[in-house]
């Protein structure tokens, strides 16, 4: 009979110790510092000083920052929905492609082999006024002025969807792969057309995959800063850029810390809501 006898629990502690050490030193402690900063005041030269205050949090309620926050939520939600819409057919195709499955899966993951920064720059070369798309269209005489493809919300959205599409495909593929084929046969047997089977059997049973994909995409998109920075230019400030600016150009670390923690709190609440709805999908 297995028991929690002393030697085994001691062994467990020994094996868990490195993980705990990393977690505490690289996550809990920095978060504590961020929390402390968020409650302090910015000195005239941009360093941290007393007194303790909640001002940094109350500043977040400023309509300007609320607008930035809502814009971030809106872009992250749009990116998530687009990823799910594009990812589902691809995942369905992958789950039904028999022997080629592994090849296609590798192709989905392949972009990860290159740095995300380089891939984002590649998009800039494609989208800018003198970029590949505009120069081809101009040469063909289809347009006379370059299309404004870069440095707008559309470009940011494109970049986010491009970056996070695999995070939709993989969880959806995992649930579709596990789907018992006899359920699809049973549906057809009971008279359902293929599209009815898709709506009434496949989609509902892929719900855990949709939830997992949504969490995996929405959360990083909400805090994304590289993509909006590079593809959005300076114009499209999202919450990630706002936080980044506080730590760099604005040198207002206390406010940056407060904004970071507020973002984390929102993400945490969303995550808990998702977990409550269908915990097993994420665990």
Alpha carbons 225 and 230: distance in angstroms, whole number: 9
Short-list 157, 159, 160, 152, CA closest to 234: 152
Residue 186 within binding range of other proteins, rule CB under 8 A: yes
Q: Are 228 and 82 in contact (CB under 8 A)?
A: no
Alpha carbons 39 and 53: distance in angstroms, whole number: 5
Residue with tokens 């995996």: 216
Short-list 65, 108, 77, CA closest to 221: 77
Residue 201 within binding range of other proteins, rule CB under 8 A: yes
Among 10, 96, 193, 235, binds other proteins (CB under 8 A): 193
Task: Report the nearest approach of other proteins to the CB of residue 194 (Å).
Answer: 8
Task: Report the nearest approach of other proteins to the CB of residue 245 (Å).
Answer: 46
- Residue 37: CB atoms within 10 A of its CB come to 20
Alpha carbons 88 and 171: distance in angstroms, whole number: 10
* From 28-36, 91-99, 199-207, 218-226, span contacting other proteins (CB under 8 A): 199-207
Task: Report the nearest approach of other proteins to the CB of residue 183 (Å).
Answer: 5
Residue 183 within binding range of other proteins, rule CB under 8 A: yes
Q: How many residues bind other proteins, per CB under 8 A?
A: 18
Residue 180 within binding range of other proteins, rule CB under 8 A: yes
Residue 200 within binding range of other proteins, rule CB under 8 A: yes
CA 134 to chain centre: 29
Residue 2 sits at φ, ψ, to 5 deg, of: -70, 145
Question: Could you give the dihedral angle defined by the CA atoms of residues 198, 201, 205 and 211, in that order, rounded to the nearest 10 degrees?
Answer: 40
CA 181 to chain centre: 31
Residue 187 within binding range of other proteins, rule CB under 8 A: yes
Task: Report the nearest approach of other proteins to the CB of residue 74 (Å).
Answer: 31
Task: Report the nearest approach of other proteins to the CB of residue 93 (Å).
Answer: 20
* From 96-104, 182-190, 210-218, 245-253, span contacting other proteins (CB under 8 A): 182-190
Instruction: Write the interaction track for other proteins spanning residues 87-106; mark x where CB under 8 A is met and - where it is not.
Output: --------------------
Residue 199 within binding range of other proteins, rule CB under 8 A: no
Task: Give the residues lining the site for other proteins (CB under 8 A).
Answer: 180, 182-183, 185-193, 196, 200-201, 204-205, 207
């Amino acid at each position: 009979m297995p028991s929690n006898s002393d030697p085994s629990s001691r062994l467990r502690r020994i094996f868990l110790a490195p993980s705990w050490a990393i977690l505490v030193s690289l996550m809990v402690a920095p978060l504590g510092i961020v929390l402390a900063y968020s409650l302090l005041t910015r000195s005239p030269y941009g360093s941290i000083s007393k007194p303790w205050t909640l001002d940094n949090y109350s500043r977040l309620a400023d309509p300007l920052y609320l607008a930035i926050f809502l814009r971030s939520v809106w872009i992250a939600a749009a990116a998530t929905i687009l990823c799910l819409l594009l990812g589902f057919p691809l995942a369905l195709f992958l789950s039904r492609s028999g022997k080629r499955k592994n090849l296609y899966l590798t192709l989905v993951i392949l972009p990860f082999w290159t740095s995300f920064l380089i891939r984002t720059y590649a998009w800039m070369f494609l989208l800018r006024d003198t970029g590949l798309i505009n120069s081809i269209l101009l040469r063909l005489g289809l347009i006379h002025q370059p299309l404004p493809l870069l440095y707008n919300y559309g470009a940011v959205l494109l970049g986010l969807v491009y970056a996070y599409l695999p995070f939709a495909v993989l969880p959806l593929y995992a649930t579709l792969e596990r789907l018992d084929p006899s359920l699809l046969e049973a549906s057809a047997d009971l008279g359902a057309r293929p599209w009815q089977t898709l709506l009434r059997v496949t989609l509902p049973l892929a719900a855990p995959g949709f939830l997992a994909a949504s969490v995996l995409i929405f959360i990083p998109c909400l805090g994304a800063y590289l993509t909006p920075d590079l593809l959005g230019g300076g114009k499209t400030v999202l919450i990630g850029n706002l936080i980044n600016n506080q730590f760099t150009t604005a040198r207002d670390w206390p406010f940056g810390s407060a904004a970071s923690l507020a973002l984390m709190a929102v993400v945490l609440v969303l995550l808990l809501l998702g977990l409550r709805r269908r915990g097993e999908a994420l665990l």
